[in-house]
């Protein structure tokens, strides 16, 4: 018999709307890509406030 240890986890997906992707990639406007990456950095900084390192086995 094996036991399974369950752990709480978060899953975060950071995807830009299609209109932003098209404007950045097809339209060649790098400002949209930069703004998206800036927003991801801010979101990750906020998420990190709620995490604790070193809890894994």
Please give the pLDDT value at position 39: 94
Q: Which residues contact 53 (CB under 8 A, 6 or more apart)?
A: none
Tokens 């932003």 found at: 20
In the predicted structure, residue 1 carries a pLDDT above the cut 70: no
Q: Is the pTM of this model over 0.75?
A: no
* Short-list 18, 39, 21, CA closest to 30: 21
- Kindly state the helix (H) or strand (E) to which residue 41 belongs, with its residue range: helix 30-48
Per-domain boundaries in the chain? 18-48
Per-residue pLDDT at 55 exceeds 60: no
Per-residue pLDDT tens for 3-53? 788 777 778 899 988 988 888 888 888 898 899 999 999 999 998 888 776
| Rounded-to-integer distance, Cα 16 and Cα 26, Å | 14
């Amino acid at each position: 018999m094996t036991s399974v240890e369950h752990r709480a986890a978060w899953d975060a997906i950071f995807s830009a709307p299609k209109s932003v992707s098209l404007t950045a990639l097809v339209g060649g406007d790098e400002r949209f890509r930069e703004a998206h990456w800036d927003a991801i950095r801010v979101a990750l900084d906020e998420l990190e406030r709620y995490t604790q390192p070193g809890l894994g086995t």
